[in-house]
Amino acid sequence: MAHEWLDKALFYEIYPQSFMDTNADGIGDFQGIIEKLDYILELGCNAIWLNPCFDSPFVDAGYDVRNYYKVAPRYGTNEDLKRLFREAHMRGMHVLLDLVPGHTSSDCEWFKKSGMADKNEYTDRYVWTDNIWSNTEAVHNTTGFIRGGYERNGAALVNFFTAQPALNYGFARVDQPWQQKYDEPGPMATREAMKDVMRFWLDMGCDGFRVDMAGSLVKNDEDQAATISLWQDFRKFLDEEYPNAVMVSEWGEPDKSLAAGFHMDFLLHFGPSNYMDLFRVEHPFFSREGKGDAATFFGKYMRNKHLADRGDGLICIPSGNHDMQRISKYLDESELKIAFAFLLSMPGVPFIYYGDEIGMRYLEGLKSVEGGYERTGSRSPMQWNKKANAGFSAAPSDELYIPIDPDKQRPDVMTQRRNINSLYSTIQQLAEVRAEHSALHNRSGFKLLHCEKFSYPLVYERFDEKEGTVLVIINPSGRDTEIELTIPEGGETIFTYGGKVAAHGDKVKIPAESANFILINV
């Protein structure tokens, strides 16, 4: 299989402006990432998802691309990014870029030329109405429009912020004369333009793409059938020209994204997955108060996993990302250790958001930076040590692009690496256990044994023909519990936190706030 590395992949998500600054301008850069590759590898991660790094006016953190073929100068040069790919590959690591195919910045030359009155190559590159006063409110998968300021008589639809005009992939249902069918020449030319962008960076050395808002490209496509067909066309192109390229979708509906040809899909904080029930609700399942519910999540997860297995796809359960509040806002260090025992023992590809491995805090009340608004508090600088600016930057603290956590007790990498009982050390141990045991690898088998509504514990098996079975028993609640379960004799505990389980015949007593992995050989 061309993508065998996915079987053992463990991803680390990097928000580049906040990871490591090497030129003292208060903003992270490619050189900083290169310098920390060994740290990422030591943690146990062998793959990186790099948030947007293309040239941009940064109205929306780089998700408003000005030039797809040039990196943002604040991060470095195209050659610097190419060197990052090389340095990662030398370490056996892979790098995915964040591709934003649905819209650009209004400052993009494509859009400026599209707004000219005279017809040109870019006239149909975006979604324009035929009159500046046209009503666009009924168009599915858009959030507004740009009206005025261009020679062209029309309003341009936008996908998110007002500075993000929507690229034209056509309409599944045409309601107005100005709407083009998804297979007309204009939308098809947009597809080819995006394929050229992908070719450029794959030739440069990237290993694939995480695709922003992948399910939103075709408009008026309520069942998303036309969007699925579009991505199947992209997958065909990649299979023919770049068979090793990996595609991960921001879709949140694996039944659709995997059918569309993506290798992986995220379970997200929006959409129907009930991911939030586990970590980010008033009563998370992984809180010791023991009032959470994992059953609704698993009801949907098992249906999606069945579809994923049929298509040889993968489902990703991330610790968090740049768009949601940090997991530490809801769970303390002990609770986080148990949550990571879950994240790093489930099938699919795990993703760790930078800083979650040390329990970085969500910073309340920060002024919005680059359209972050409430998300800005999850994008603060990485905390490396106890030096000035936590070792992130040599810039004056008041010149940091996003403020650093002001708490003198803030967690940092240096301190946690020295403590064998830290969150960092626990995650490192979990990553080692996952890598060492084939039954825990990304595509190995999964069977849910115990998961009842508003009840604890959570019990499941991971297995493969080579190694046998790893029994995972997780009890996040603050009370001991007991269930009917037979553990075969000779089982070896390969990971434990919070105390080992005790088997008595056909019953098992599980300590409060504990996680246990028990290897049962073939």
Cβ–Cβ under 8 Å, residues 437 and 362:
no
Q: Examine residue 303 and state whether it is found in any structural domain, yes or no.
A: yes
Both tokens assigned to 330? 């809801």
464 shares a domain with 428: no
Q: Is the dihedral of CA 226, 231, 235, 237 positive or negative?
A: positive
DSSP single-letter state for residue 290 = -
Which of 434, 451, 479 is the endpoint of a domain?
434
Q: Examine residue 224 and state whether it is found in any structural domain, yes or no.
A: yes
Among 328, 415, 320, 412, which Cα is nearest to 364's?
A: 328
3-state class (DSSP) for residue 288: coil
Q: Examine residue 131 and state whether it is found in any structural domain, yes or no.
A: no
Cβ–Cβ under 8 Å, residues 478 and 456:
no
Q: Examine residue 222 and state whether it is found in any structural domain, yes or no.
A: yes
**Residue-wise pLDDT tens digits, 338-358:** 999 999 999 999 999 999 999
Which of 106-110, 383-387, 500-504 shows the lowest per-residue confidence on average (mean pLDDT)? 500-504
Token pair 């979650």 is found at 356
Cβ–Cβ under 8 Å, residues 208 and 246:
yes
Pairing of strands 514-521, 492-497: antiparallel
Q: Examine residue 169 and state whether it is found in any structural domain, yes or no.
A: no
**Residue-wise pLDDT tens digits, 189-210:** 999 999 999 999 999 999 999 9
pLDDT at position 2 is 58
Compute the average pLDDT of residues 226-253: 96
Task: Give the DSSP letter string of 11-36.
Answer: EEEE-GGGT--SSSSSS--HHHHHHT
321 shares a domain with 217: yes
Q: Examine residue 239 and state whether it is found in any structural domain, yes or no.
A: yes
Helices (H), 44-182: 78-90, 109-114
Cα dihedral 392, 394, 398, 400 in deg (nearest 10): -40
Residue type present at position 357: E
3-state class (DSSP) for residue 99: strand
* Cα gap 276→291, rounded to integer Å: 14
pLDDT at position 294 is 97
3-state class (DSSP) for residue 98: strand
Q: Is the dihedral of CA 411, 413, 415, 418 positive or negative?
A: positive
Q: CA neighbours within 13 Å on the CB side: how many for 520?
A: 13
Residues linked to residue 154 through DSSP beta bridges, in sequence order: none
pLDDT band at 248, cuts 50/70/90? very high
329 shares a domain with 229: yes
Residues linked to residue 309 through DSSP beta bridges, in sequence order: none
pLDDT band at 304, cuts 50/70/90? confident
pLDDT of 241 > 70? The answer is yes
Cβ–Cβ under 8 Å, residues 64 and 56:
yes
Buried b (16+ CB within 10 A) or exposed e, 109-126: ebbeebbeeeeeebbbbb
Q: The domain containing residue 473 runs over which residues?
A: 443-521
Task: Using CB atoms within 10 Å of the CB of residue 308, give its burial: 0 to 12 exposed, 13 to 18 middle, 19+ buried.
Answer: buried
**Residue-wise pLDDT tens digits, 40-68:** 999 999 999 999 999 999 999 999 999 99
Question: pTM for this one?
Answer: 0.97
471 shares a domain with 429: no
354 shares a domain with 466: no
468 shares a domain with 428: no
517 shares a domain with 487: yes
214 shares a domain with 323: yes
* Cα gap 467→277, rounded to integer Å: 32
Q: What mean pLDDT, rounded, does the chain reach? A: 95
Within 10 angstroms of residue 357's Cβ, the number of other Cβ atoms is 28
pLDDT of 522 > 70? The answer is no
* Count of the separate structural domains present in the chain: 2
481 shares a domain with 422: no
pLDDT band at 504, cuts 50/70/90? confident
Which of 387, 417, 434 is the endpoint of a domain?
434
Residue type present at position 451: C
* Cα gap 123→121, rounded to integer Å: 6
**Residue-wise pLDDT tens digits, 141-178:** 899 999 999 999 999 999 999 999 999 999 999 999 99
Residues linked to residue 49 through DSSP beta bridges, in sequence order: 13, 96
* Cα gap 117→149, rounded to integer Å: 12
**Residue-wise pLDDT tens digits, 417-470:** 999 999 999 999 999 999 999 999 999 999 999 999 999 999 999 999 988 999
pLDDT at position 43 is 98
**Residue-wise pLDDT tens digits, 363-394:** 999 999 999 999 999 999 999 999 999 999 99
Who contacts 472 (Cβ-Cβ below 8 Å, separation ≥6)?
341, 345, 458, 459, 460, 461, 462, 515, 516, 517
Q: Examine residue 394 and state whether it is found in any structural domain, yes or no.
A: no
Both tokens assigned to 322? 């740049």
Compute the average pLDDT of residues 236-256: 94
Residue 451 sits in a domain of what CATH number?
2.60.40.1180
pLDDT at position 107 is 98
354 shares a domain with 292: yes
Compute the average pLDDT of residues 266-288: 91
420 shares a domain with 336: yes
**Residue-wise pLDDT tens digits, 467-482:** 899 999 999 999 999 9
Q: Examine residue 14 and state whether it is found in any structural domain, yes or no.
A: yes
Residue 253 sits in a domain of what CATH number?
3.20.20.80
453 shares a domain with 351: no
